[in-house]
Structure 1
Amino acid sequence: MNISNLTFDEEEEEEEVFSLGVTIPFGIIIVVLIFFAIFGNAMTIAAFLRDKGLRNVYNMYLVNLAVTDLMLGLISMPFYAVYTLKSYVWPFDYHFCKTYMVIDFALCLESVLAVIIISLDRLLLLKHGPHYDQRETYKVAIVKISLSWVLAVSLYTPAIIGWDLWTGEDTVEPGDCDVQFAYDLTFTTSTATVEFVIPFIVIGVLNLLIYIKIRSRRQVVAPASNANPSTNDKEKSRNRKDVKAARFLAMLVIVFGLTWAPYTIATIIISLCESCVNEHLYEALNWLLWSKASLNPFLYAYNSARFLKNFKEILLCGRKRKNVISNIGTISNNKTEEQTA
């Protein structure tokens, strides 16, 4: 009986391990996502640091989002990649799991708060107009970003660290890495509402107000610009910038909604019925959520010609260095040959 049970357990364990036909495609997709999350957001930060023309309050908020996405690419995604490719087995210890969860949940929430701040900033620009630079200074931006990080860390950290201590229960299976409150309907629903539902509504309302503000200003400015043709070009240029900024925000909202909504809904369903959502599907939705970190740099390049220019220069700089090194190698080789001759 002992031998048969042991054999059965070994067979069951082997069945749970992903085959190479599954591991390799998953691994390629995961590596691509991690690469763009790290490389794309690192380029965004580098562009901001190297180009003084990009150093304004609005771009500070974009860089804050880029820093958050970069940390997701450096911390959350690589460690979870190991967990995913090892057939959902956490190879690290219990305490590191809690530390990892604190960091990951804080980064994910901060990425949401960053989008809210960016949307609010665009609305304030339209509202204050020429007085925007006086009201929205670098100090104000730093305060907003700092408060958002405090909130992001504060929301989940106590529950992640102390849930099993408060309840006296350990709901996470050995070899797994998950939060202890994953199956608590009340807490999960509340945090999902705070983390996704409310922010999504707020971002949607802010973008709607931005659209209304742009449209109403166009209607007011248009008659004054037929009356005074000299201001027409300036107003057209300003309107184009406003519309472009509004489209960029709309894309951020759409990407946020498409990548976050499925995971949030699945999380709530699991808290009601654990077996109602396929494990593989849920893990795929988790990676879909993180894919936002990989997509955002493409939005920066699409929206800003200056960011795109810097991205190209950073990439070309690497090619130029390779060419210089190869040329130096060629020259040195030629000199050696001449000396030998």
Structure 2
Amino acid sequence: MAITPLKIRSFLYMFIGSTVSILIIAGNILVITSIIYFKQLHTPTNYLILSLATADLLVGALVLQFNMALNLRSCFFFGDLVCKMRRCFDVTLMTTSILNLCCISIDRYYAVCQPLKYKCKITVHVVVIMILVSWTVSSLLGFGMVFVGLKHIVCEGRCLIFRIPNSNIVGPVVSFYFPVITMLCIYLKIFLVAQRQVRSIQTTKSGIAVIKMERKATKTLAIVMGVFLFCWTPFFLSITFNPVTNYSVPSPLIETLVWLGWSNSMFNPFVYGFFYSWFRSAFRIIISGKIFYGNFTNSKLL
């Protein structure tokens, strides 16, 4: 039986997709397990990271699996419902990620700009409300866009065509552009305040250590946001300007940009492991299997 270019393309597609999916699932399970297991990581900021990691995990476990199934059989085989469900999960989880990043930026704002009010403003109760609101709004937007608002999903081959009419840009604005502008403004404010703190620092050694620790955490989480923007901005720009150019953006390019966006879910665990020493310590303990042979919940992660 001859091996056609289509078969080679499908094999490479499945191989890359499976690899990315496995890395997403494994990396985010590490993050989730670390935060749940180690008491040192039970902080409001890390609960937001836990919510973000859960969304990333579901991208690998649901969205990519749907997409690879559609690649093998096409959406004509599965029907329009599966095509829409894939899009629902995609929009919901992407929106959840960016709303969680928004919440993290608010957390960092109080930690750096108003440190004396941080513990009374950003409590576990407040963070739980932030997480619930993020997931609820994202679910309503994701399922509402596909089943009620947007009826322009066209099933072509592998169910990759997502057409947004000129009159309906509410989805991208709510789920991407507005949160992005909000986060950029917040991090700009944090940067300016941090610069003033450096110039006029007059405090104890312990106070200096706390300020440095908060700034490092803010820098790391800003990098997480930067990676998110790097991965998702090209896709949103393409679907925003596609209607203006009479849908001239080719489907393979949109498909590639979608994969770039999904790959963001794979990068975050590497960022945490690279910049956070306590996450590195937690990852080592989990990967080595020590948690199965002893109680390390109260371990001091360096």
Decide which of 86, 94, 104 is 1:118's aligned counterpart.
104
Q: Deviations over 1:251-299 (max 9, x none)?
A: 1222111111110111123323455212211101101001110001111
Match of 2:298 in 1: none
Cα–Cα, structure 1 residues 320 and 242, in superposed 2: closer, same or farther, change >3 Å? closer
Cα–Cα, structure 1 residues 18 and 157, in superposed 2: closer, same or farther, change >3 Å? farther
Q: Deviations over 1:30-75 (max 9, x none)?
A: 2221111111111111011110000010100000000010111110
Match of 1:182 in 2: 163
How far apart are residue 219 of structure 1 and its match?
2.2
Q: Deviations over 1:180-221 (max 9, x none)?
A: x7241221x332222222222111111111111212122222
Match of 1:28 in 2: 15
Match of 2:52 in 1: 65
* 2:94 equivalent to 1:108: yes
How far apart are residue 306 of structure 1 and its match?
1.1
Structure showing greater Rg: 1
Match of 1:251 in 2: 223
Alpha-carbon distance in structure 2 between the residues aligned to 1:278 and 1:96: 23
Q: Which amino acid aligns with 1:24?
A: F
Alpha-carbon distance in structure 2 between the residues aligned to 1:96 and 1:36: 24
Between structures 1 and 2, the one with greater helix share: 1
Cα–Cα, structure 1 residues 243 and 90, in superposed 2: closer, same or farther, change >3 Å? farther
Normalised by the length of structure 2, the TM-score is 0.87
How far apart are residue 320 of structure 1 and its match?
9.1
Decide which of 176, 185, 194 is 1:205's aligned counterpart.
185
Contact 1:91 1:175 survives alignment (8 Å): no
How far apart are residue 170 of structure 1 and its match?
7.0
Alpha-carbon distance in structure 2 between the residues aligned to 1:19 and 1:176: 13
Gaps of 5+ in 2: 294-302
Find runs of 4+ consecutive structure 1 residues off by over 3 angstroms.
88-91, 173-179, 272-275, 318-321
* 2:250 equivalent to 1:278: yes
How far apart are residue 106 of structure 1 and its match?
0.9
Alpha-carbon distance in structure 1 between the residues aligned to 2:72 and 2:290: 32
Q: Percent identity?
A: 23
Match of 1:43 in 2: 30
Task: State how 1:151-230 maps to structure 2 within 5 Å.
Answer: 151-163=137-149, 172-173=154-155, 177=159, 182-187=163-168, 189-221=169-201, 224-225=202-203
Cα–Cα, structure 1 residues 25 and 163, in superposed 2: closer, same or farther, change >3 Å? same
Alpha-carbon distance in structure 2 between the residues aligned to 1:274 and 1:130: 53
How far apart are residue 178 of structure 1 and its match?
5.8
Q: Which amino acid aligns with 1:242?
A: E
